[in-house]
Amino acid sequence: MSSMLEKVGIAWKRAWGEGDTQAFQDIVADGYVRHSKTGEEGIEDVIEQIKSSHRAFSDFKVEILQALEDSEAIAILWESTGIHTGEFMGVPPTGRKVVVRGAAFIRHANGQILEESTVWDPRDLLASMKIVHLGNKR
């Protein structure tokens, strides 16, 4: 039997990396909620974000760089890459390669994701597109 981390990894690769949103929906519990700095989101919101990412970025990929798991939670450090070839967040295509890193903290039970908290910095995305200058990066 595979671990929940393996299930999440496969679903993330298929959903975020390939655009197969059903793969993610299949491991999300009824009542799933994702917390981010923009507020709480349901599965429909996440599905739209996956689709809009694929519309805006050609060769869009998401790689899990590190992950930790215990019996009730998973922590993931991820990196997204792509070429900005479509409008995103109101920004017209720049043709530039973008790289963004973030983290997800997932609470799960009975083989399904109950809740997720995500963090990433949209300024990293804008800097990759050369939209804003952020000064010295650490």
Query: What is the distance between the alpha carbons of residues 78 and 43, in angstroms, rounded to a whole number?
Result: 19
**Does residue 133 form part of some domain?**
no
CATH code: domain of residue 11: 3.10.450.50
Mean pLDDT score, 41-66: 94
Q: How many domains does the chain have?
A: 1
State the pLDDT confidence band at 2, using cuts at 50, 70 and 90: low
Task: Specify the pLDDT at position 135.
Answer: 54
- Assigned domain for 136 exists: no
Find all residues with CB under 8 Å of 116, minimum gap 6, and list them.
32, 33, 34, 35, 104, 105, 106, 107
Region of 33 (left: φ > 0; alpha: ψ -120 to 50; beta: rest) is beta
Residue 135 lies in a domain: no
**Using 50, 70 and 90 to split pLDDT, how confident is the model at 1?**
very low
Q: How far apart are CA 16 and CA 39, in angstroms?
A: 21
Q: For 72-130, what is each residue's pLDDT tens digit?
A: 999 999 999 999 999 988 888 999 999 999 999 999 999 999 999 999 987 888 788 78
Q: Are 85 and 56 in contact (CB under 8 A)?
A: yes
In a domain, 84, yes or no: yes
* Secondary structure of the chain as H, E, C letters: CCCHHHHHHHHHHHHHHHCCHHHHHCCEEEEEEEEECCEEECHHHHHHHHHHHHHHEEEEEEEEEEEEECCCEEEEEEEEEEEECCCECCECCCCCEEEEEEEEEEEEECCEEEEEEEEECHHHHHHHCCCCCCCCCC
Record the tokens describing residue 65, joined without a space. 């760089």
Q: Which domain holds residue 9?
A: 4-128
pLDDT value at position 112? 97
